[in-house]
Structure 1
Amino acid sequence: MTDYTLLGRQLDALLDTPDWLTNSAQTCALLMQEIPALNWAGFYLQRQPNMLHLGPFQGKPACHPIPFDKGVCGAAARTRQTQRIDDVHAIADHIACDSASQAELVVPVVVDDRLWGVLDLDSPERNRFSEADQAGIESLVEIFIARTTF
């Protein structure tokens, strides 16, 4: 089980610049290194209306762009609510960038009531993300927002 309190302290110390690009790259690297059973961790950014564009990530090459009306990332962006999916293959409009991905957790990044993007985590294990993982990742996103200038 991941110690999200410790991971939060590590992330807070790691984000020693307000630069969004540096902080998002560092966040992805830390998540891939410290959270077991991930095969992708990255940000998708809202750079135009109703569309997500690939940002910093760790893992295999990714899908780009993602419209708000498609997939788990699109749902998180559209609703501004975290999406925790135990079996991505049960989602009719799931966008399969990596066929090895089985579960997904997507947290919207909302800054000053504006969607900046989403943090997307994929796992090769079904049922990988628990409620505790969701709460832990959401707390890490809050640290990322607090330490970053957008």
Structure 2
Amino acid sequence: MSKKLEKYERLYEQISHYVVTTPDRWARLATIEAVLHHKMQLFFWTGVYVLVEGELIVRSYQGPVACQKLRQHTGVCWAAVDSGKTVIVKNVAEFSGHIACNPATKSEIVLPLRDEKGQIYGCLDIDSDQLGAFDEEDEQGLLKILQLVDKEK
């Protein structure tokens, strides 16, 4: 196992102890965001956008001020929500339609969030101020951590 995956495993264990205090999805996501943002050096912005009446609205985040609402079906978050798949962007300048909420963002990973029925209700969006900060190991580690959102006690 790589050092990065080992770190995600440690974070999974840490977060699993925090989230048992409430079954509330939003409290759990906020805790996940905070831990990831402060423990992963390359995470410049870490947050959740939620589908509200067909719009992606910021719910909670760690980092600089964010776009409150994302232009429909544009940008990395919408690409993940529309495709239902994780989107990893090594260089946001090369992503057509990228929404620049903060000009310091250089790379990004976005994972769709699904409820217990498999329906997408939003996305976890993580930005880095470094190029090429994210890869499939990040996806693997983050997907495991996101299982904690709706996990029973």
Flag the 1:35–1:147 CA change in 2: closer, same or farther, 3 A.
Answer: farther
What residue is the counterpart of 1:118 in the other structure? 123
What residue is the counterpart of 2:79 in the other structure? 75
Paired residue secondary structure (2:32):
helix
What residue is the counterpart of 1:5 in the other structure? 9
Query: Which deviates further from its counterpart, 12-21 or 116-125?
Result: 12-21
Q: Does 1:141 align with 2:146?
A: yes
Of 90, 95, 110, the match for 2:94: 90
Contact 1:76 1:82 in 2 (8 A): yes
Paired residue secondary structure (2:150):
helix
Superposed CA deviations along residues 33-87 of structure 1, whole A, max 9, x for unmatched, are 11111110000011112x2111110011111212441000011111110000100
Matched pairs, number: 147
Contact 2:25 2:150 in 1 (8 A): no
What residue is the counterpart of 2:133 in the other structure? 128
TM-score by length of 1: 0.92
Flag the 1:147–1:65 CA change in 2: closer, same or farther, 3 A.
Answer: farther
Of 2, 18, 27, the match for 1:22: 27
What residue is the counterpart of 1:105 in the other structure? 109
Of 60, 63, 68, the match for 1:64: 68
Amino acid at match of 2:23: P
How far does residue 145 in structure 1 lie from its aligned partner after superposition?
3.0
CA distance in 1, matches of 2:51, 2:122: 5
Flag the 1:60–1:147 CA change in 2: closer, same or farther, 3 A.
Answer: farther
Q: Does 1:55 align with 2:59?
A: yes
Flag the 1:147–1:40 CA change in 2: closer, same or farther, 3 A.
Answer: farther
CA distance in 2, matches of 1:99, 1:4: 27
Amino acid at match of 2:63: G
Paired residue secondary structure (1:122):
strand
Query: Which deviates further from its counterpart, 101-110 or 134-143?
Result: 134-143
Unaligned runs of 5+ in 2: none
Flag the 1:79–1:125 CA change in 2: closer, same or farther, 3 A.
Answer: same
TM-score by length of 2: 0.90
